[in-house]
């Protein structure tokens, strides 16, 4: 056996693997026992059964008690009113923990607002997932939690067991003031409570509120953002570093669209009157607009006005009008100059012209993750992002599939990593076959054209590969092998009449699936590689890429 790994490395590995696997790993050898048991019992699950066993006087050999010294937090879920008689005992046993995750559903009686949290004075991380069907007011819940003065990290999310009940708990700016008054040390706040509409008339009062200077990270739902709320956030969080807006459970039609475009300039002026506007902000997750119609370009324009330099941006397009690209660029252009890492999701929108015709210039961008269904030219993106080093492309849809070929011609002279993965067509996996060529300094025309197809299978310097299913280690994993000359001839011959051959294979698909069991990975063993011929082939021609990763497997230079 090789030299044992250091305890620190084993502890790190133990934290990253599945909880059930942690116990198995603890049995491998004595050297592994402690780090993996520590990881397993660091955050144990506590339901009604575990709580009853834990508090049973005759059960002194309880497994939870034996591992008490390893526990730093509790994952408490689905307790009932009957279980509450043992709750003080639980708090006594675990009086020094620092983290709690509490989950409550409608299957049992509501008990969250009845719990006395005062004994847990050492808890700094609290996560609550609460079913709001019981409709306890937010202020009542916050009052019960107020005894936990040491909280630094608070996640308060609500859900409903009834799919037609998406009203959610409402959170007013008064509730926010109460929350920050209870938890003065708070640095991290996340909640999906629906922001209550806030009047412009209270903005002068907002200016007089004490700031929550410790807050570094917040997350809210993208339901009812407004200028007054953004005004409040800017006043309240002067040291904010990360601001995330996420898509919640509510649909757009469940939220009143109360923003009127005629007030756009007035709202922009209101935000510009502030003394500061998130001067420490480095990371933002935003949409084109809130579900109530509030445009996030007001947010990005204000950042530019105050000279704030964002470095990390996640942008989601969530409108489907004909002018979506113009609105998208209006939101991005004001912060694009300083962004170093950006995720763009253009979703289901498609247009006839290539989206890169109007792609914003990002002179500082070094990493780009793009999800789109529209055509784009990679060389245009590279021209507008001269410092780009990592480009992760997720192409959804397109008219390339009937041809069976997707061609990527890219002058990637400035990229370190090219990742291509998870190609699907009508929810079926495609492109387990690919051909790859590094053109070097050749003068070949490298105009990137993803959707306009011509036959390039005869290019002389292509190397051909297949992603197959590898079971050699006892587990299923993808592997890449290089095709030989006879295999390449088979591919070319198949593509001479691709449409007819594909239709023939589709007719036989049901019989093939009965005869050959498909892996959960949707990959086939190397011996069955021809089954992937009908799925098409991707042809990748690049000038120079240091790391090329296809379907999670690195393609090395010696392949």
Least confident of 143-157, 264-278, 409-423: 409-423
> Any residues with CB less than 8 A from the CB of 452 and at least 6 apart, and which?
none
Least confident of 5-14, 54-63, 169-178, 201-210: 54-63
Does residue 175 sit within a domain?
A: no
Query: Mean pLDDT of all residues in the chain?
Result: 83
Helix (H) or strand (E) holding 372: strand 367-372
Which conformational region is residue 551 in: left (phi greater than 0), alpha (psi within -120 to 50 degrees), or beta? Answer: left
Q: How confident is the model at residue 222 (pLDDT cuts 50, 70, 90)?
A: confident
Q: Is the pLDDT of residue 199 over 90?
A: yes
More confident call, 49 vs 416? 49
- Number of neighbouring beta carbons within 10 Å of residue 275: 10
Helix (H) or strand (E) holding 471: none
Q: How confident is the model at residue 444 (pLDDT cuts 50, 70, 90)?
A: very low
Rounded Cα–Cα distance for residues 363 and 384 (Å): 7
Our CA angle for 293, 298, 299, nearest 5°, is 105
Give the single-character DSSP code of 558: T
Alpha-carbon torsion, ordered 526, 528, 531, 536, to 10 deg: 20
The structural domain count of the chain equals 1
Does residue 510 sit within a domain?
A: yes
Residue 126: which of 111, 140, 144 has the closest Cα?
A: 144
Rounded Cα–Cα distance for residues 461 and 25 (Å): 47
Does residue 545 sit within a domain?
A: yes
Q: From the centroid of its chain, how far is CA 119?
A: 35
Rounded Cα–Cα distance for residues 334 and 514 (Å): 56
C-beta separation of 342 from 368 below 8 A: yes
Does residue 151 sit within a domain?
A: no
Q: Which residue has the tokens 């021209």?
A: 383
Rounded Cα–Cα distance for residues 297 and 317 (Å): 12
Does residue 476 sit within a domain?
A: yes
C-beta separation of 284 from 213 below 8 A: no
Does residue 517 sit within a domain?
A: yes
Average pLDDT over residues 302-328: 87
Does residue 130 sit within a domain?
A: no
The pLDDT tens digits for 348-362 are 555 555 666 678 899
- Number of neighbouring beta carbons within 10 Å of residue 20: 8
Q: Is the pLDDT of residue 449 over 60?
A: no
Longest pairwise C-alpha distance within the chain:
82
Give the single-character DSSP code of 426: T
Give residue 460's pLDDT.
62
> Any residues with CB less than 8 A from the CB of 410 and at least 6 apart, and which?
378, 379, 418, 446, 448, 540, 541, 542, 543
For 256-289, give the DSSP string.
Answer: -----GGGHHHHHHHHHTSS-S-TT--EEEEESB
Q: Which of 34-43, 345-354, 508-517 has the highest mean pLDDT?
A: 34-43
First to last CA, the chain: 30
- Could you list the residue range(s) of the whole structural domain that residue 545 is in? 463-555
The pLDDT tens digits for 372-420 are 776 677 778 888 898 988 888 777 665 555 577 777 777 555 567 777 7
> What is the SS3 assignment for 195?
strand
């Amino acid at each position: 056996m090789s030299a044992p790994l250091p305890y620190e490395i084993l502890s790190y590995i133990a934290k990253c693997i599945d909880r059930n696997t942690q116990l198995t790993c603890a049995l491998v050898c004595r050297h592994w026992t402690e780090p993996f048991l520590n990881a397993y019992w660091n955050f144990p699950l506590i339901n009604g059964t575990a709580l009853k066993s834990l508090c049973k006087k005759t059960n002194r050999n309880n497994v939870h008690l034996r591992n008490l010294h390893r526990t730093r937090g509790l994952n408490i879920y689905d307790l009932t009113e009957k279980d509450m008689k043992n709750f003080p005992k639980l708090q006594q046993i675990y009086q020094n923990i620092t983290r709690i995750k509490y989950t409550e559903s409608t299957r049992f009686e509501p008990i969250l607002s009845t719990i006395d949290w005062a004994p847990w004075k050492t808890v700094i991380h609290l996560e609550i997932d609460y079913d709001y069907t019981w409709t306890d007011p937010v202020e009542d819940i916050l009052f019960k939690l107020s005894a936990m003065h040491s909280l630094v990290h608070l996640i308060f999310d609500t859900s409903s067991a009834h799919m037609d009940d998406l009203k959610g708990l409402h959170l007013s700016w008064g509730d926010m003031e109460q929350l920050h008054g209870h938890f003065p040390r708070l640095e991290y706040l996340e909640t999906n409570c629906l922001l209550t509409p806030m009047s412009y008339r209270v903005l002068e009062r907002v200016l007089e509120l004490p700031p929550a200077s410790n807050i570094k990270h917040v997350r809210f739902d993208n339901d009812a953002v407004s200028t007054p709320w953004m005004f409040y956030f800017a006043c309240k969080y002067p040291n904010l570093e990360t601001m995330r807006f996420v898509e919640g459970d509510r649909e757009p039609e469940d939220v009143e669209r109360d923003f009127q475009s005629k007030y756009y300039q007035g709202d922009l002026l209101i935000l510009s009157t502030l003394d500061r506007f998130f001067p420490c902000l480095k990371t933002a997750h935003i949409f084109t607009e809130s579900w109530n119609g509030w445009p996030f370009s007001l947010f990005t324009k204000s950042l530019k006005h105050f000279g704030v330099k964002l470095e990390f941006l996640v942008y989601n397009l969530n409108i489907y009008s004909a002018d979506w690209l113009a609105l998208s660029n209006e939101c991005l252009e004001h912060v694009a100059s300083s962004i170093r890492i950006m995720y763009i999701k253009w979703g289901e929108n498609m247009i006839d012209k290539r989206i890169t015709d109007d792609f914003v210039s990002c002179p500082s961008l070094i990493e780009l993750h793009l999800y789109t269904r529209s055509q784009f030219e990679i060389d245009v993106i590279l021209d507008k992002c001269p410092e780009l080093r990592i480009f992760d492309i997720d192409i959804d849809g397109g008219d390339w599939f009937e041809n069976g070929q997707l061609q990527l011609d890219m002058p990637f002279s400035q990229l370190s990593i090219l990742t291509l993965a998870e190609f699907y067509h009508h929810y079926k996996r495609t492109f387990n076959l690919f051909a790859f060529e590094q053109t070097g300094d050749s003068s070949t025309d490298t105009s990137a054209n993803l959707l306009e197809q011509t036959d390039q299978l005869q290019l002389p310097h292509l190397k051909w590969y297949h992603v197959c299913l590898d079971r050699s280690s006892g587990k299923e994993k993808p592997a890449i092998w290089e095709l030989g000359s006879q295999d390449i001839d088979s591919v070319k011959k198949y593509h001479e009449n691709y449409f007819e051959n594909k239709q023939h294979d589709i007719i036989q698909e049901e019989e093939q699936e009965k005869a050959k069991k498909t892996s959960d990975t949707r990959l086939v063993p190397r011996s069955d590689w021809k089954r992937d011929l009908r799925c098409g082939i991707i042809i990748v021609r690049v000038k120079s890429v240091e790391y090329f990763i296809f379907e999670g497997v690195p393609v090395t230079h010696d392949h």
